[in-house]
């Protein structure tokens, strides 16, 4: 373990990468991915390293920065690929440690031999998140209808109008959409519930922005559904607020289920 490693020539396109423990350069078979599907290519290459035992259970993946350098890609591409590995159950993110390869036998997907579709993995993870969002945000809407102050209602109206403005201008409105949902969580006057919602909403940004760009009817639908939620809260109708929020979350789930699904296209 203490001996320095000798660098040796690698096949064209492959490169050395510092190992996670700082012990020195380790040869990898990582190559810059094709432009057609960057995150898919990155995921497939890391998956091959894990399946063929070059990255073993319990070992850390190289840092985000080193993966960016090895693959010659940006941060968002690396993160999307790692999220796919997490969804497969092959990698776990440990606080203060980083991405660690799980015991492969624990994953129901470990025996998959073909390349996996990173978009399908992202959809699966998003649908799981939407289940959690429905449980949390329907309760937040119900509480908001009961507990919202005049100041809370004014903030909700402000954020709803901000979403309308961005949609009318044809711009991506993820930030305004997030602020509307956070305003409902705040109006529920339950800090633990509000923090839980904020954590879950933050996980869906990249895919939600993609959906907003690629689904023409989604922006106008969001405005209409937001208005239904807001109106129920303003009327102090907890049941209607809960149902309006549930309908909104389920509508998003239906879009995600159908988006890019080869069985539906």
Last residue of a domain, one of 86, 106, 126: 106
Q: Where are the alpha helices (DSSP H) in the chain?
A: 38-51, 64-71, 75-88, 118-147, 150-168, 174-187, 191-202, 205-214, 218-234, 238-258
Task: Report the pLDDT value the prediction gives residue 112, as an integer from 0 to 100.
Answer: 41
Mean pLDDT calculated for residue range 128-143:
93
- Can you give the pTM of this predicted structure? 0.58
The answer to whether residues 124 and 254 belong to one domain is: yes
Q: Which residue has the higher pLDDT, 57 or 231?
A: 231
How many Å from the N-terminal Cα to the C-terminal Cα in the chain? 53
Contacts of 34 (CB under 8 A, 6+ apart): 41
We report the CATH number of the domain holding residue 90 as 1.10.10.10
CA atoms within 13 Å, Cβ hemisphere of 49: 22
Residue 62 is assigned to a structural domain of this protein: yes
Number of domains in the chain: 2
Q: Which residue has the higher pLDDT, 253 or 15?
A: 253
For 224-256, what is each residue's pLDDT tens digit?
Answer: 999 999 999 999 999 999 999 999 999 988 887
We report the CATH number of the domain holding residue 160 as 1.20.120.530
Please give the residue range of the domain that contains residue 97.
16-106
Q: What is the mean pLDDT of the chain?
A: 79
The answer to whether residues 43 and 139 belong to one domain is: no
Q: Which residue has the higher pLDDT, 118 or 262?
A: 118
Residue 33 is assigned to a structural domain of this protein: yes
Percent of the chain with pLDDT over 90: 39
Q: Are 54 and 46 in contact (CB under 8 A)?
A: no
**Cα distance between residue 77 and residue 45, in whole Å:** 13
Q: Is the pLDDT of residue 180 over 90?
A: yes
Residue 150 is assigned to a structural domain of this protein: yes
The answer to whether residues 140 and 243 belong to one domain is: yes
For 256, the token pair is: 């995600």
Q: Are 109 and 147 in contact (CB under 8 A)?
A: no
DSSP 8-state class, residue 60: B
Task: Report the pLDDT value the prediction gives residue 111, as an integer from 0 to 100.
Answer: 44
The answer to whether residues 38 and 102 belong to one domain is: yes
**Cα distance between residue 173 and residue 260, in whole Å:** 22
The answer to whether residues 100 and 126 belong to one domain is: no
Q: Which residue has the higher pLDDT, 143 or 40?
A: 143
Residue 2 is assigned to a structural domain of this protein: no
C-alpha distances (whole Å) from 31 to each of 46, 82, 184, 211 are 10, 16, 46, 29
CA 185 to chain centre: 20
The answer to whether residues 94 and 124 belong to one domain is: no
Last residue of a domain, one of 53, 75, 106: 106
Decide: helix, strand or coil at residue 100: strand
Whether the CA torsion 181, 122, 42, 87 is positive or negative: it is: positive
Task: Report the pLDDT value the prediction gives residue 3, as an integer from 0 to 100.
Answer: 45
The answer to whether residues 229 and 144 belong to one domain is: yes
Residue 92 is assigned to a structural domain of this protein: yes
Q: Are 188 and 144 in contact (CB under 8 A)?
A: yes
Residue 24 is assigned to a structural domain of this protein: yes
Last residue of a domain, one of 39, 72, 106: 106
Q: Are 90 and 102 in contact (CB under 8 A)?
A: yes
The answer to whether residues 58 and 168 belong to one domain is: no
Q: Is the pLDDT of residue 33 over 80?
A: no
**Cα distance between residue 128 and residue 71, in whole Å:** 29
Residue 102 is assigned to a structural domain of this protein: yes
The answer to whether residues 205 and 236 belong to one domain is: yes
The answer to whether residues 191 and 227 belong to one domain is: yes
The answer to whether residues 144 and 249 belong to one domain is: yes
Task: Report the pLDDT value the prediction gives residue 58, as an integer from 0 to 100.
Answer: 85
- Cα-Cα-Cα-Cα torsion 18, 21, 27, 29, nearest 10 degrees, comes to -90
Q: Which residues of 227-253 are buried (b: 16+ CB within 10 A; e: fewer)?
A: ebbbebbeeebbebbbbbbbebbeebb
Residue 206 is assigned to a structural domain of this protein: yes
The answer to whether residues 142 and 91 belong to one domain is: no
């Amino acid at each position: 373990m203490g001996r320095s490693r000798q660098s040796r020539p690698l096949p064209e396109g492959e490169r050395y990468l510092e190992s996670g423990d700082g012990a020195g350069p380790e040869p990898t078979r990582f190559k810059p991915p094709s432009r057609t599907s960057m995150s898919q290519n990155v995921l497939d290459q890391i998956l091959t390293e894990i399946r063929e035992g070059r990255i073993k259970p319990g070992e850390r993946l190289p840092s985000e920065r080193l993966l960016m350098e090895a693959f010659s890609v940006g941060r968002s591409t690396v993160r999307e690929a790692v999220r796919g590995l997490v969804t497969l159950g092959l990698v776990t993110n440990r606080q203060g440690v980083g991405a660690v390869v799980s015991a492969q036998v624990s994953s129901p997907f470990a025996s998959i031999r073909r390349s996996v579709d990173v978009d399908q993995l992202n959809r699966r993870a998003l649908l799981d998140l939407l289940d959690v969002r429905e449980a949390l945000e329907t309760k937040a809407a119900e509480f908001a209808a009961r507990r919202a102050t005049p100041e809370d209602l004014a903030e909700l109206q402000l954020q709803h109008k901000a979403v309308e403005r961005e949609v009318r201008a044809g711009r991506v409105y993820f930030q305004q959409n997030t602020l509307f949902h956070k305003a409902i969580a705040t109006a529920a006057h339950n800090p633990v519930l509000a923090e839980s919602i904020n954590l879950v909403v933050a996980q869906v940004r990249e895919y939600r922005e993609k959906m907003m760009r690629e689904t023409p009817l989604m922006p106008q639908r969001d405005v209409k559904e937001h208005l239904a939620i807001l109106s129920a809260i303003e009327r102090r109708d907890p049941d209607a607020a809960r149902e309006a929020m549930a309908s909104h979350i389920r509508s998003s789930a239906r879009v995600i289920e159908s988006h890019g699904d080869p069985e539906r296209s």
